[in-house]
Amino acid sequence: MPFVPNVTTLSGRILARTGLLLLAAVLLGGGLIAIWRLALSPLADAWRSRDWIQAMAKIEDLSLTQDARGVRLRTRYAYRVRGVLYRASRYGLHTDMDNAEAARAAYAELLYRDKVWVWVNPDAPDEALMNRDIHWSVVAFALPAVAVAALGALLLWAAASAVRAWRREFRRKAQGAMRYPLSIMRFLYSFCFYLFLPGLLLRLLWRSRQQPDYRRHWRERFGFYDGRAPSPLLWVHAVSLGETRAAEPLMAGLLAAYPRHALLLTSMTPTGRGAGSALYRDNARVMQAYLPYDAPDAVRRFFRHFRPDFGVLLETEIWPNLLFAARRQGVPMMLVNARLSSRSARGYARIGMLARPAFATLCAVAAQERADARRLAFLGASQISICGNLKFDVHPAPELLAQGKTWRTEITRRQQRPIWLAASTREGEEILLLDVAAQLPACLPPDAPPPLLVLTPRHPQRFDAVATLVETRGLSLTRRSAGLPTLETQVWLGDSMGELAAYYALADIAFIGGSLLPLGGQNLIEAAACACPTLFGPYTFNFARASRDAVRAGAALRVQDAKTLLAHPKQQAALRSAALDFAAQYRGATTRVLALLRAQTQSLPIFSESGFPTTDS
């Protein structure tokens, strides 16, 4: 029976769209007027009338105290106006900080900066505002008006998109096609995504100041790609550096099992893309690109350009619009090496109307452990198998291990000295670790050789900031880019990428970063594979089972704070032997994931001609 649309329903929808367009136009116009009248014009008049000037101020003191309401910050600084010295103070209350130590870590950069710029009123020179206060005053004026204008513009887009979506829906119903209706929650999600899209662009621009690679290939983040995609094509998405390294054995297995297919490796960060380039620069079958932002039109362009036959997502990359677009294009999606902490599961459960349909689109899930499988099933995923952690199957490159041993020979040739590594450290942890480094000589016998701290920050854009922090602490510094450390070097800064295995081979013992502060920890499996004795802090919820099993196996030790890094006796030989056994015990996840992938692709026509052999062959 042919589809006949209801005239009353159509009339109501047309009236609703017209009203939405009129409301959007009013909000957009009103917002633009408000930006000028409420923000720009009064602000310009204020600056012209008061004629404030900039002056250089020296921070004299920064004190932090804690009470029932939160952490209170007091900054005292001095500045000169027309040769006269003035002093001022700035107060702040932080209710989001757990304790004064966390606040001190957050304000470490300000605390160790010599001078800052302030704005001074010449008519009342004792009145001064720090740049941060000026910026927030501008935001307080302009933000409401900008939000109103953006709301109007996005309502215009939403109305146009809704009209197009309902037109496509009526056409599909008329042709008897399968429907994938746009849910209210996903509509609101897309609406909010477009609302905050300018903020994402500003964040990219801001991060590109320290890491210029963020400005490269930026069109790909919106679904615009150059060249022609190969066909047939398999697609693997690894969001950043750790996931790209974890995908290495899986990529090798896919290249061997599907000889006719090219492989597309997507990422979201320059570090992940750089790691992929280093691994596959000589492999013509592997191509790389950025995955676009989860906007409906961007993911639609992505699938139209590449047209993959199958998609594999690593760990926790759940993007609703991406998954629904894949289902609409007929691309099966599989989540592998899946892990989900209890905190992340609670977050997804709060938006269950959006998250559960997205998880339900997955054709299969390869979870790391049973607890992950239970949480994923609760959120709507099906066809869940427990396959283990792919990171155990990543073998450190022999040339990197050899490089680390060469470094150790050169460093200890003139003097045998203990070498401890702080690997993949995060912001706020370096201060605590440098305090430990400063205390180490006092804890050793007088005739003991000075220890060497090898410090490797997690993110390359922080290399310069960490170097400045080391120098302000009065510790002698050598950077990896400048050569090997000398006898006088106390801290060797690993400002390189892709050499972490070499640093593990160099060190007597390693501390895994991201675990002293509540950041979830970093991957300790690579250290175990390199037979490096390992310590980590109390916060390892991102690697809960791996860290728990490593402690039980005697392959690692957990410390409660930075000070107790020095409290453990030398247990390096036992830890080194147990680390190798621990890494070997949990291997095999790649084989199980590939078997699961074979089961999912057997029924697809394109895979019956190439790839894994079918059951009849």
Q: List residues with catalytic annotation.
A: 243
Token pair belonging to 155: 């309502």
Q: Which of 401, 394, 398, 397 is nearest to 503 (CA)?
A: 401
In whole angstroms, what is the distance from residue 534 CA to residue 521 CA?
A: 13
Strand partners, 512: 423, 536
Which residues fall within 8 angstroms of residue 402, CB to CB, at 6 or more apart? 505
Contact 550, 585 (CB under 8 A): no
Q: What is the largest CA-CA distance in the chain?
A: 94
The one-letter amino acid at 254: L
In whole angstroms, what is the distance from residue 242 CA to residue 110 CA?
A: 31
Token pair belonging to 218: 């930026």
What single string gives the DSSP state of each residue in 558-587? E-SSSGGGGSSPP-HHHHHHHHHHHHHHT-
CA 543 to chain CA centroid, Å, is 15
480 Rama class: left (phi>0) / alpha (psi -120 to 50) / beta: alpha
Residue for token digits 């887009």? 157
Helix (H) or strand (E) holding 411: helix 398-411
Q: How far is CA 312 from CA 223, 308, 333, 336, in A?
A: 18, 10, 6, 7
517-538 burial string, b = 16+ CB within 10 Å, else e? Answer: bebbbbbbbbbbbbbbbbbbbe
Residue for token digits 């399968």? 178
What 3-state DSSP class applies to 53? strand
Q: How far is CA 93 from CA 90, 106, 339, in A?
A: 11, 13, 36
56 Rama class: left (phi>0) / alpha (psi -120 to 50) / beta: beta
Is 508 buried (19+), middle (13-18) or exposed (0-12) by CB count in 10 A?
middle
